[in-house]
Amino acid sequence: MTPREPRPEPGPAAGTVERRRERGSAGARSLLLTVLGEFVLPRGGEVWTGTLVDALGALGVEEKSARQALSRTAAEGLLESVRHGRRVRWNLTEAGDRLLRAGTERIYGFMRRPHAWDGRWLVLTAGVPETQRRLRHRLRTKLTWLGLGSPAPTLWVVPDAAKEAEVREVIRELDLADRAYAWTGSSAEIGDTAKLISAAWDLDDVEKRYVGFIEDFEGRVVASDRAAFVNQVLLIQEWRRFPFLDPDLPAELLDHAWPGPRAAAVFHDLRNRWHRRAQAEWDRMDAGAAARH
């Protein structure tokens, strides 16, 4: 990729905000979770409604959608409200704190450094009938978050036997111990491993997304604290999808240079570069919300 001149904001950030606006309440909730994890969790898990409405407004979310996202997130047990006169302050619940901490660890640790592979796989079979769609969705979401792929119905694989304990916890949490079985070991060299990987993960799509991420963010510069806040949230918002998409395969199973590590370098470099100014903008919005009324 050829070097380019640094791009000032708003540019691509404004286009991304517009896409977020078009997605409505679902996009608002997703942005809310990113904001909660990046700015509220490190500050003790408490925040004024006005701060969140202002923050989401900076990201192109209308006030009605922002308040709906807050209500929905509270209904899911991740937030609880406390009245202070006419104003409302939101606190992360224990479940919300736990979810955001796990997400933060995964997002910032993902693709952070090369890892050696011992040649061992973890294979899981877990059958959930079609009639239990919600359970099937929860199982798929949790296993995908751990990097597992499904090359065939009820079958899940990952070239990382060290994830045995995490997979066991998922099966326990979903009460599927009587319908699941797992084992670990090296490949028996029967069949084509490349075809297995292709069936389990859409790596062509993931690679295109990495390239798009790099092209979108690399070289982007910000001219204000507000721009740093907006761009940092959008940066995290885009990056947090990759742990769901990319199994972070060992180099031995990839046939060419993978763009994931370069995308990770872009992510961490920009996040570190924008962090101080983004946090300053958050503090300004929070002070403004606290002073109102």
Cα separation, 235 vs 213, in Å, equals: 9
Per the listing, tokens 């092209």 go with 215
Pairing of strands 155-158, 120-126: antiparallel
Q: What is the pLDDT of residues 97-132, one digit of tens each?
A: 999 999 999 999 998 877 789 999 999 999 888 889
Query: What's the predicted TM-score (pTM) here?
Result: 0.83
Apex 183 CA angle, 182 and 189, nearest 5: 125
In angstroms, the Cα distances linking 228 to 30, 262, 264 are 19, 21, 19
Q: What is the pLDDT of residues 248-288, one digit of tens each?
A: 999 899 988 999 999 999 999 999 999 999 999 999 999 98
- Measuring CA to CA, which residue among 138, 139, 134 is closest to residue 154? 139
Say if residues 117 and 159 touch (Cβ distance below 8 Å): yes
Averaged pLDDT score across all residues of the chain: 89
Cα separation, 142 vs 83, in Å, equals: 34
Residue 128: predicted pLDDT: 87
Q: How confident is the model at residue 26 (pLDDT cuts 50, 70, 90)?
A: low
